[in-house]
Structure 1
Amino acid sequence: MIRARGLRKTFGSPGKEFEAVKGIDVEVAPGEAFGFLGPNGAGKSSTMRMIAAVSPISGGELTILGMDPAVDGPAIRGRLGVCPQEDTLDNELNVRDNLYIYGRYFGIPKGEVHERVDELLDFVQLREKQKSKVEDLSGGMKRRLTIARSLINRPDLLLLDEPTTGLDPQARHVLWDKLFRLKQTGVTLVITTHYMDEAEQLCDRLVVMDKGLIVAEGSPLELIRRHSTREVAELRFGVAAEDEDHHRLAEKVADLGERVEVLPDRLLVYTHNGEEVLAKVHERGLEPIATLVRRSTLEDVFLRLTGRTLVD
């Protein structure tokens, strides 16, 4: 569905160039959910705009659905669905007309568009809101409407740029369910996100991006196994007045795990037995104000690979 080799994207004029994507290799197979995980500024959105055939590549090779976006842009866009990071819904129109008019842009006959609108309103559970103005919808409803609109042309490939940013947990789970159902119907999903739980929930395979480069690739489970331990013991000692306070504490527990990460408000001890670590910490007379044992996540993978958290 997507094949990139040495893909680059540069902005600015000669001498003042900024390279947002620095030569990445990506392949996405039919029917999979593929993710780009990384913090803001990692190059995810620039990559997505090239894949959407709306931003020309600056270097390397890119084929989408077997076609060259520089030559076959309209044909590619006709088979894509795009859910942008920002809502671009038409506030002057009601819910139904947002879908209907967008469908007509693709040249779909009127009767068929009405059928597709009915199907999509049911799919995203907005049938009862079809006569409502967009501005009267909640954030979660607007995202569902944006996804419905991106499906009006029955795309083979759906691009979702930060699909749940700004949504409350319940709205995020509703959206995840819709995307999971879409994947089951054979739609290929490409998702950018800086939420590691979203990537773990939705993606069969993903790449971790940082500063325009891919720093790791694999399934969520593979990445966690490869770059982290089974468990993490979190030790909160309060916000330290000086960084060296935490670094001194880290030295005292360094032998209890495979590695220790020092964050501004806590220490992370990477281990295969978190409870055992907590017991030994207390034996040594250290008194954290709060402790937690949890499974490793993609956040830990990113921290290991870049020395930063995803929300930096």
Structure 2
Amino acid sequence: MDLKTAYERLGLPEDATRDMVEKRYDMLLRQERRRIREGGGESPEFAEITRAYRFILEQEEKQAVTELTEQQYGKYKQFAGLAEKIDHFFSYYKWHTLGAILLIGAIIYGINAYIEHKEEQARLAALPPIDVDGMILGQFFVSDGSADTENLEAVMLGHFPDWKRVELQLLTFSLEGRSQLDIAMLQKASVLLATEKPDIYILDSETYPWLAQTGILMELDEWAAGRFSSLLPEGAAVKAFGGEENGEHIYGIDLSDSPLIGELPLYKERFIVGIRRDAERADNALHLIETYLRSIP
């Protein structure tokens, strides 16, 4: 690939500035992400665009190094190469001093990190107790396109006047592994499922049976037949296979038709809530499901 081809793939002239290149690539990246969210796979065209973008940056870096070398050693003319080698020789012996400086820097960094950790612990200790802790898994997207759940938590908290704090984690991925991002997020989800214990899992129609078969979800048959029976729309009590040990049961309640769920700043295909078997706040999790069911006409 040459520079002319690289700029053409980005739709830019050859004299485009670094700022123009960055802005153009950011725009194309947002368009690609939007297309993937709408159901498209990764496009070969965008892979070529990324390759062109990286090529341009590499060429700019090489040019910058060449100009810096010329600026430093050009005055020596035919002895420029020798001058550069001598400079590198003396620079080599600076590494011992530099190593000591780096060691001191690492110690300072460690102290600062410890102080920040203690401050974060103090901040968390000052917060009110968690009323419900949740993990969102699947094809879900916050309205602003980020993974920040702060606004989502605030809206959900507003549905429960007696609650003081809701914590949510969002992991967006497809089980089909349509992109490297999907694969990375799926790996992260697997780690979090093994190490963290939220009260509820918010799932789509793809991740619900996948998670249910791990045996991690509480059976809700009793609640569907009792406390929730008069509130459940047809098909809202969703059965799934809970593994050989647990068999088929109702492990999730589909709350997609709840008007309150519609108020959440979250793109979703379905909104199925399951409760972890050993949930610390199972009563609050059940209250959450009941509240959203009651809002369904």
TM range (shorter): under 0.3
Higher relative contact order (CA 8 A, sep 6+): 1
- Whichever structure has more helix as a proportion of its residues is 2
What TM-score do you get using the length of structure 1 for normalisation? Answer: 0.22
Higher radius of gyration, 1 or 2: 2
What TM-score do you get using the length of structure 2 for normalisation? Answer: 0.23
